[in-house]
Structure 1
Amino acid sequence: MRAGLARYEAEYDVRLARSCHDALDTTHAIVADGGTVAMFVSESVLPDADVLHCFHKLREKVPTARRVIAAHWDRFLADAPGLRAGMAKGKYDAFLLMPRGTRDEEFHNAITDLLSDWGSTVADPEVVAVKIVSPVRDGLTLAIRDFLDRMGMPSRVYEPDSDGGRYVLDLWGGEPAYPLVCRANGPVVHATSVRDVAINVYGAPTELDLDQVVDLAVVGGGPAGLATAVYAASEGLSTVILEAEAIGGQAGTSSMIRNYLGFPRGISGMRLAQRARNQALRFGARFYTGQVVDELRPGSGGDPHVLCTDSGEVRARSVVIASGVAYRKLRVEPVEELVGSGVYYGAAMTAAREMEGQDVYVVGGGNSAGQAAVHLARFARSVTILVRRPDLAETMSSYLIGEIEYNPRISVRTCCQVVDGGGDGRLEWLGLEDVNTGQVDRVPAYGLFLLLGAEPHCDWLPAGVARDDRGFVLTGRDVPRDRWLDGLPPENLATTVPGIFAAGDVRAGSMKRVASASGEGASVVPLVHAYLSPAAD
């Protein structure tokens, strides 16, 4: 085992402990000195404690540390059945075979992946791609950092009078206006919105040759849009992806997706999205983030469809609508007024770091809410999940329910809803109502994360694209019979406008799962080919 750890000693402070007792004492000393622990690695059998009980004690001291069991090859198969169930409940992060040599790259690949995940969640990453200078941690500053986190770009916020702050201010050269954003080898910009940052980093569609008609325009960079881009570009279609926010959509905010096929140790939504983006780029797809599509003008008589943004127009022979959904609003006015100041829609990965030692609440009963609660529990003193239903079983995956039940920092309050809240400039308390009795309790709260189901935003679509009464796009046999052509329904993922398709959460009847959205993104490409083939002939 010592040989397996040797390569990390140059970059990390590697400490050895002979027992659980020693590990706890060493961890206590590190934390007392102001340090932290990136990872605990243990054999499957300890001399003085069950390994999972030991990890439980260590997590209480350093909740953000990753936990790995590296079993000796003589015990790997024998110990696996009793230990692997614990990984599904979040008791530890990986069960590995102890390295069998210095260059056991299977082992090291797993370790470096976990260390990379740890590095992306710490408050101040060592490697910084973007510097943000601001004297206050306001809603815009947090939103910018959250966008950069979701794009896989490590960032740090600097005070103006710090070394990093003065460096950026010197590059700016003018009257300070905050927040200032400086990326490596790029200009300093005064950001008034997340979109300013997106355009500064990735450019605007005006940089495209807009006289060119592309084969396919994809609206939305979530799992469905990314899968569409990968398969379309790999099959030779000129493909453009327009994303209003960060690549990855809602899935990109998930701290850890454990049930996605092919990733037994799980993968964060950000990493999954960025790998898919890089894959599509390799095949020639072009991405433009921070671009809100205001209008879609369907083509007719062989003319291309036109997507209108305030940065220009994109003309395409076919369009895939993969714009996903947004979280439904709470619509409690005192709480809505504090959005960005303790109240957040979605997982808000960056804001989670600000919750250290605090009491926070998560509203929602789906997998996204469960994943957010587990991630928040790495930082917050307590996390309470609020749901109107009597339990989580109907809406959340079993593996997440098990992980939540095991985590002592997470509790679930059922038959409950938020009806009030307030504070002096930021969230300080919530009013929680029992839906059965009507009794309202006032509780202290530093953070509220709202993951309240899905609402599509399809106001930019033309009237010719049929939608259901909730606003989701209708495709295939879900289209009303009076909109069928020649007595036949559209193809499975085709809308009521020829050449316009829909995939993922925005489509009526979709499963609202990452895997199903990816599958629809892949499945829509043959339909696009079939639609374009007459024109090609």
Structure 2
Amino acid sequence: MTHTPAVVVLSGTHLDTLLPQFARYSGEYAVIPTSTPLAAKQLISTMVADGIPIALLVVDHPIAGVETEHVLAALRQLVPTARRMAVSHWDHFRQGAAEMRTPVATGAIDAFMLMPRGKRDEEFHVAVGELLNDWNATVATPEVETIQIITPEKDALTRELLDYLGRVGMPTGVHTPDSETGERVLARLGEDEPRWPVVATHDGQVAAVRSVRDVATRLYGRPDEIELDQVADVAVVGAGPAGLAAAVYASSEGLRTVVLESEAIGGQAGTSSMIRNYLGFPRGISGMRLAQRARLQAIRFGTQFYTGWPAVELVPGRDGEPHRVVTEGGDVRARTVVIATGVEYRRLGIEPLEELVGRGVHYGAAMAASREMDGRDVVVVGGGNSAGQAAVHLARFARSVAVVVRRDDLSSTMSAYLIKELDANPRITVYGRAQVVDGGGEDRLEWLEFEHRDKEHRTRLEVGGLFLLIGADPHCDWLPAELARDERGFVLTGRQVPQERWDDELPPAPLATSVPGVFAAGDIRAGSMKRVASATGEGASVVSLVHGYLDDRRR
């Protein structure tokens, strides 16, 4: 039996104002009022015991005789997956904003808003909509399934598909062959003994798949679908923040733009559960939503996207010929190329754990695996912002989250707002000067062994999940030798390029490489900041250099 998700509204004096505002959600959510913290606690405890999902907690601040922050903390313990919103009457809003500053900064509250003073306060409802949208994307079971996966069990490929489809914003359901949905899909397939998993896409196609690429091709096509006699003005390799920004600005300025992405649109940033320090999003935005909005924006201007096709070679153009980006699904010819492939998480290199990838061990945030961590003890290895965001998100589901770093602490690698959020979350503990050295399990991850550098001893713990977000290695094996890179493999641009490769003793432009007409932006570029905003800025900035190069070619 499925229950309607609930919105719980706690207010001692303003229910008559708040309930009419939340009436617009009553068609899809059960809007439940309560007037005291004790009543709210008892109500929510009963709802949790009955299996009723709670999407949003709304608390009227201030609460007489009680700290609002403490009330929300207690309710978070009961239902950690619910989004939390504090509202304040206009008579108290200015003082309330100062009082709620710390709870908002530490993640105890997802949003603090002025109580609506009348009808159609759409700024208020935008905030409510964002919180409900985020809950539905990360917690709720999809009501409408764009993709349906039929399989007897969630094997490694099924988990890879779920992770990919979650990152591209496709609501997906997994069904067993003997379920009503499974039988209906398999009847359309018409095979007695199909290979698993079987995937049904929104366009009515049903087929067994062997890889994520099979699904990506059905959704986005193949690069060889581009007409052979057409030459793009810009080929962007990589659809992370830098590549997406380059695509939006290039195509909006009339340049024929093609984007190739080896995995899911959004890159590493697309796996972030919530980016809170990106300009213009005061309540934060998930990496997936930011990436999909940018993709739709670029498509609106004419960009063509192809995912699941990594570039395997770049052949520089000679004597005025276009460059050629080679993939296993066809070549893309372009007058200019923007390299925006970002970086990959470094492999841990512990064989027993590598064998459990997809079965409790995950590289990256693996958002689709978060729900499976319910009630488990989880370890996140990494000290960057992506690791911090993953820990905060996992703490909504896991019993405990341990963040393990080799440094003394997180101060030199993670943004201060995230460190505060980790410190304030009772489910999260940070362990410095430690590293994972072993682990294993029968069919999935069951235990890990840690080495503590300061105490010179090892500890073995039972855990249910390991999320690895360590280091940053460039993937540049496909680039030609004449394109200059540093000793770690990052692409050199501008004055970083060795002087013997300068043209007429002048260095290349700031984002230009040693190969004319080839540019680099984002994390793949040597010396980049490794932040979403800086990558986006570089992606936008590179377009003016592309224009300059094309203008010179025309002249």
Out of 292, 304, 310, the position equivalent to 2:310 is 292
Question: Contact 1:383–1:411 (CA<8 Å) still a contact in 2?
Answer: yes
Q: In 2, are the aligned partners of 1:19 and 1:48 still within 8 Å (CA)?
A: no
Give, in angstroms, the shift of residue 186 of structure 1.
2.9
User: Does residue 83 of structure 1 match 2:100?
Assistant: yes
1:341, CA displacement in angstroms? 1.0
Shift of 1:437: 3.5
Mapping for residues 103-502 of structure 1, pairs under 5 Å: 103-122=120-139, 124-174=141-191, 175-502=193-520
Once residues 116 and 319 of structure 1 are traced to their aligned partners in structure 2, the CA distance between those partners, rounded to angstroms, is 36
Instruction: Indicate the residue corresponding to 1:62 in structure 2.
Output: 79
For the pair 1:98 / 2:119, whether they are aligned, the reply is no
Match of 1:23 in 2: 40
| Matched AA of 2:503 | L
What is the distance in 2 between the residues matched to 1:122 and 1:178?
26
Letter in 1 for 2:124: F
Matches of 1:248 and 1:482, distance apart in 2: 36
The TM-score, its normalising length taken from structure 2, stands at 0.95
Cα deviation for residue 123 of structure 1 reads: 5.2
Deviates more, 1:92-101 or 1:212-221: 92-101
Q: Kindly, what percent of the aligned residue pairs are identical?
A: 60
**Once structures 1 and 2 are overlaid, which stretch shifts more, 495-504 or 153-162?**
153-162
Deviation, 1:450, is 0.3
Work out the CA distance in 2 between the residues paired with 1:196 and 1:62: 38
1:184-215 deviations in whole A, cap 9, x for unaligned?
22301212111111111111122221320010
Shift of 1:436: 2.8
Matched residue count: 537
Cα distance in 2 for partners of 1:416, 1:99 equals 49
SS in 1 for 2:334: strand
Corresponding letter in the other structure for 1:178: W
User: Which whole-Å CA distance do the structure 1 matches of 2:303 and 2:417 have between them?
Assistant: 36
Following TM superposition, by how much is the alpha carbon of 1:85 offset from its aligned partner in structure 2, in angstroms?
Answer: 2.2
CA offsets per residue over residues 247-306 of structure 1, 9 Å max, x none? 000000000000001111000000100111111111111111111111110001110000
CA RMSD between the two structures: 1.0
Provide the secondary structure at the position in 2 that maps to 1:27: helix
The offset of 1:382, in angstroms, is 0.5
Aligned partner of 1:427: which letter? L
Inter-partner Cα distance in structure 1 for 2:126 and 2:95? 24
For normalisation by structure 1, the TM-score amounts to 0.99
- The gaps in structure 1 that reach 5 residues or longer are none
Matched, 1:39 2:93: no
AA aligned opposite 2:199: V
Three-state SS of the structure 1 residue aligned to 2:550 is helix
Secondary structure at 1:276's aligned position in 2? Answer: helix
Q: What CA distance in whole angstroms lies between the structure 1 residues aligned with 2:260 and 2:204?
A: 22
> How far apart are the structure 1 equivalents of 2:287 and 2:202?
24
Unaligned runs of 5+ in 2: 1-17
Query: Helix, strand or coil for the counterpart of 1:70?
Result: strand
Contact 2:19 2:33 in 1 (8 A): no
2:404·2:432 contact (CA, 8 Å) conserved in 1? yes
CA contact (8 A) 1:475 1:492 kept: yes
SS in 1 for 2:181: helix
SS in 1 for 2:273: coil
Q: How far, CA to CA, are the matches of 2:228 and 2:49 in structure 1?
A: 59
For residue 316 of structure 1, report the CA deviation from its aligned partner: 0.1
**Secondary structure of the equivalent of 1:15?**
strand
Q: Deviation string for 1:406-450 (max 9, x for gaps)?
A: 111100111100110011021100010012343111110110000
* d(CA) in 2 for partners of 1:480, 1:410: 46
Kindly indicate whether the alpha-carbon contact (under 8 Å) linking 1:41 and 1:67 is maintained by their aligned counterparts in 2.
yes
- Higher mean displacement: 301-310 or 160-169: 160-169
Q: Deviations over 1:133-180 (max 9, x none)?
A: 111112211110111111011111111111121121112111222111
> CA distance change for structure 1 residues 130 and 501 in 2, over 3 Å: closer, same or farther?
same
